[in-house]
Structure 1
Amino acid sequence: MNIDEIIDRIYPLPTISKDKLKQYITEVTHPKGLVLMEADKVVPHIYFLKKGIVRAFTSSENNDITFWFGLEGEPVVSMKSYVEEKPGYESIELLEDCELYRLETSTLKALFNEDIHIANWGRKFAERELIKTEELIISRQYKTALERYKDLLRDKPYLIQRVQLGHIASYLGITQVSLSRIRAEIR
């Protein structure tokens, strides 16, 4: 997905504002397995996925807990670093070779002060990320594992082909054995 499409999905900008924003965005590529963002570190930039898939996870004593997958066209951001310039909670790992667009957070915040359209774009960006987080929390609190799996199949069926089942089980908050049972039940 190209950067114009990604920007417009968040909030359409006038051409002059979009061009101003784009001049500070660079393309980068990284290999599968790279940890793009590490927990407990301030991340000074945000990314947008041009191609590939990533996962956000936290580590506990025994394992990693995956709580989000990022796909083409989506922002990849540590909101704690973005908003407060403090270390984030999550690590972000590339699950495929990825092509990304990178934007320095400090540059974006400076643009907020120069251009009201970019400032509104930034507000919409943050609002969208908040809604995604809210939906995730509600899903975890009120839906069964079977319902969460069916939601995944409906909303992001391509994850099943592109992501290890262990990561999907973790994302659903269940063991791989439970995921296998659910998959068998649905068949």
Structure 2
Amino acid sequence: MDIEDILDRIDILPKESKARIMKAVTEISHPKNYILMESGKVIPFVYFIKKGIVRAYAAAEDRDITFWFGKEGEPVVSMKSYVQDRPGYEHIELLEDCSLYRIETDRLKQLYQEDIHIANWGRRFAEKELVKTEEMIISRQFKTAAECYRDLMRDKPDLLQRVQLGHIASYLGISQVTLSRIRAEMK
């Protein structure tokens, strides 16, 4: 996905403002299984996925707990690092070879100071990330694993073809055996 389209999905910017952000963006690539972010570290970048899929997870004593998947067009950000300049709690792993757009957080914040349109774009960016988090929390509190799986089938069906079942089961908070049972019941 093109960086202009990704920026526009967050909020439409005047041409000059968009050009200023795009000038600060670099494109990078990493292979499958690369750890883009590690917990306990301040992450000085905001990423946007051009191509590929990533997962966010927390490392527990005996397993990893996946809590988010990102795909083309989506931002990848440690909000704790972005907002507070403090170490994040998540790991981000690439589940496919990925092409990413990257911008330094400090440079982005400098652009916020220099351009009100970019500052408003940044506010919309943070608001959208907050709403996604809120929806995820509410979903986990009030929906069954089967309902969450149905939502995943409806909202991101391509993930089910591209992500290992073990990661999907972890995301749903269930075992792979239970996920297989849910999938069989839905057929």
**Same fold, TM-score > 0.5, yes or no:** yes
1:167 alignment counterpart: 167
The answer as to 2:76 corresponding to 1:76 is yes
The answer as to 2:35 corresponding to 1:54 is no
SS at match of 2:46: strand
How high is the TM-score relative to the length of structure 1?
A: 0.99
> How many residue pairs align between the two structures?
187
Q: Which runs of 5+ in 2 are unaligned?
A: none
* Pairing of 1:1-187 with structure 2 (within 5 A): 1-187=1-187
- Structure 1 residue 95: Cα displacement: 0.2
Q: Which stretches of structure 1, 4 residues or more, deviate above 4 A after TM superposition?
A: none
How high is the TM-score relative to the length of structure 2?
A: 0.99
Q: Which runs of 5+ in 1 are unaligned?
A: none
Equivalent position amino acid for 2:134 in 1: E
State how far apart, in whole Å, the 2-side matches of 1:162 and 1:50 are. Answer: 16
What is the aligned-residue identity percentage? Answer: 68
- Structure 1 residue 160: Cα displacement: 1.0
- Structure 1 residue 135: Cα displacement: 0.4
State how far apart, in whole Å, the 2-side matches of 1:134 and 1:40 are. Answer: 23
SS at match of 2:50: strand
Deviations 1:38-63 (A, max 9, x none): 01100000100000000000000000
State how far apart, in whole Å, the 2-side matches of 1:177 and 1:60 are. Answer: 20
RMSD over aligned Cα, in angstroms? 0.4
